[in-house]
Amino acid sequence: MYDVTVLAYGAESDRYLGVPGEDLGGIYSAREFVWWYNGHPDCSNMAPDLKSTDTAVVLGQGNVALDVARILLRPINELETTDIAEHALTSLRESTIRKVYLVGRRGPVQAACTAKELREILGVKDLHIHIQKADLATSPADEEELKKSRIQRRVYELLSKAATSHQQHDIVGQRELHFMFFRKPDRFLPSESGDTVSRVRLEKTCLKENGASGKQVAVGTGQFEDLKCGLVLKSIGYKSVPVDGLPFDEYRGVVPNMKGRVLSWDQAGHAIVEQGLYVAGWLKRGPTGIIATNLYCAEETVASILEDFKNGLLTPASGSPKPGRRGLLQALEHKNVRFVPFSGWEKIDSKERMEGKLRNKPRKKITTWEELLPAVDG
């Protein structure tokens, strides 16, 4: 129906650690947790238990990891004025979590977050930051990494400053954020009931240069320690999902492509460009990078489309124009598929904003499909 189709549906699934005990209760992906507090209808009934423990462990130190830690530790009176989902706000009001451990396989030089996100969590009111000064020691290889990356350099500077400026305060109920570097999860240990997580066993790591990539990778040392907790959030990366009939690299979790042009292979193993089919974003290159990274990625794909158009590769063989949106609407109607047009989204947006205004919030999110669909007809 279209001369050009761009796949840009991102990464909506999760990577797995593949360690024992990963299926215990109280262990969630950070994506699920983010969807829960942001009011995604698919996770509105998740109901994580925030009342049976004072300690949460977040595996990962990227921006999503920092986001979920910030939600768990931010003062409730500040959250009340945001557009956080009501069910999450109710649960966080009753939360007994006071300590969050952010666990990373490598060191502070390799922390995957950006300075902006790090500043936000370091600035949370009345939050005590724990960083072991010994972890901040740098090797010659670390120094080389810092020279090459302004982002990594800024993150390292912020962590170093936080380690020296946050002094210990013995306050009952003090909220604490612990940065744990050079640790990787080995297994999850169950509580006495056997159903829920009670501890994470961590293996200490050290950094070694990977000859192939030149990067420093975390290698286990054979030394272990247990970290007691009642909630674990895995922030180890997102994963794209395949679509029937679409070329897909299961190992890398991306659509194979050359500068955004989707590739498939013939029986002899030769690459074939799928004419008129393109990809952009995390589905194109994997779940890394921020908005600015995606802008450059999209520009590359658009440049490929323009180049193919100029070279006459996108002109239909029949010479007759393709039906486009009109044909799509007819097909959906024929198959009796209900869809939400932009005007329907605008009705949802208007209703949420109106409800939020009554509560002195940016919006009150509608969090179930049963409520969303009638709002479209509103």
Q: How does pLDDT run across 184-206, given as a tens digit for each residue?
A: 999 999 999 889 999 999 999 99
φ, ψ for residue 226 (rounded to 5)? -105, 140
Q: Which residues pair with 197 in a beta bridge?
A: 190
φ and ψ at 8, to 5 degrees? Answer: -145, 40
Residue 291 in marked binding region: yes
- CA torsion 324-326-330-332 (nearest 10°) is 60
pLDDT > 90? residue 65: yes
Distance from C-alpha of 7 to C-alpha of 262, rounded to nearest angstrom: 9
The reported pLDDT for the residue numbered 59 is: 97
Give the mean pLDDT of 245-268: 92
CA quadruple 103, 104, 109, 113: dihedral, nearest 10: -80
Tokens 């490929």, residue located: 304
Check whether 282 is labelled as a binding-site residue: yes
Overall residue count recorded for the chain in this entry: 378
Q: Is 78 known as a binding-site position? A: no
Per-residue pLDDT, 98: 96
More confident residue, 297 or 288: 297
- Nearest C-alpha neighbor of 263 from the set 278, 252, 253, 251: 278
Q: What is the mean pLDDT of residues 35-39?
A: 96
Q: Residue 299: what pLDDT?
A: 97
* pLDDT-based confidence at residue 171 (cuts at 50, 70, 90): low
**pLDDT > 90: what percent of the chain?**
80
- Mean pLDDT, range 163-169, rounded to an integer: 68
Q: Which two tokens stand for residue 365?
A: 């999110």
CA distance 287 to 110: 17
Helices (H), 204-249: none
Flag whether 337 is marked binding. Answer: no
Mean pLDDT of 64-68: 95
Evaluate if residue 235 carries a pLDDT over 80.
yes
Asked if residues 242 and 250 have their Cβ atoms less than 8 Å apart, the reply is: yes
Average confidence (pLDDT) over 114-143:
94
Helix, strand or coil for residue 79?
helix
Q: What residues contact 203, with CB distance under 8 A and at least 6 apart? A: 183, 184, 185, 186, 220, 221, 222, 223, 224
Both tokens of 82, joined, read 């945001």
Q: Are 60 and 104 in contact (CB under 8 A)?
A: yes
Residue 334: pLDDT above 90? yes
Residue 236 known to bind ligand: no
pTM greater than the 0.75 cutoff: yes
Residue 62 annotated as binding site: yes
- Degrees to nearest 5, angle at CA 142 with 184 and 140: 130
117 is known to lie in a ligand binding site = yes
Calculate the average pLDDT of the chain.
92
Per-residue pLDDT for 122 more than 80? Answer: yes
Question: Annotated binding residue at 330?
Answer: no
Instruction: Report how far residue 34's alpha carbon sits from residue 256's, in angstroms, rounded to the nearest whole number.
Output: 28
Confidence check: pLDDT of 282 > 70: yes
